[in-house]
Amino acid sequence: MKKYVVLKLIGLSVLVMITLVVISILEVAVYSYIINPGQEVSVYEVHAESTAPYISGIFGFILFFLVTRHWKKNEYPNVSRLAIFFPLTYLLMDIVIILLAGTVQWESFIVIFVLANAAKFLGSYLGYKLTRSRQVVSA
């Protein structure tokens, strides 16, 4: 993981972002077909906008935890720094994408945005702290 670390972190962040979008789409599909079928499309759009940050926070926590746990178990070099830079890379990409889209009213969005990204940092931190490295036992 030492070579091209920045590119790998960007690629992994994009992969996590895509995964979170797919989970959000699946949640809206379940909502629209099973929980509340037969509504106007605008109802589902509002639902998607309101639930996406929560899905990002909850499942983001899980994904960041699992990735950092994997790194620690496999004893990647500088895993403590990776545990910090991974969510930081994601956060920077998220901010850039939101700013480029220009559709978010920050005053109503900032609290959930901070909480969702804090969950990702916490997931990465706990994945690092709660995981033991592999111990090689020699005979």
Nearest partner of 124 among 73, 61, 55, 81, judged by Cα: 61
Residue 136 forms part of a structural domain: no
Looking at residue 88, its pLDDT comes to: 96
Instruction: Give average pLDDT by consecutive 10-residue segment, the chain, 139 residues.
Output: 80 95 95 91 90 93 95 88 93 91 80 93 94 63
Query: What amino acid is encoded at 3 in this protein?
Result: K
Looking at residue 138, its pLDDT comes to: 52
Looking at residue 103, its pLDDT comes to: 75
Give the residue numbers spanning the domain of 14.
5-129
Angle among Cα 122, 60, 41 to the nearest 5 degrees reads 145
Q: Give the separation between CA 74 and CA 89, rounded to whole angstroms.
A: 21
Looking at residue 5, its pLDDT comes to: 83
Domain total in the chain: 1
66 within 8 A of 18, measured Cβ to Cβ: no
Residue 119 forms part of a structural domain: yes
Residue 138 forms part of a structural domain: no
Residue 93 forms part of a structural domain: yes
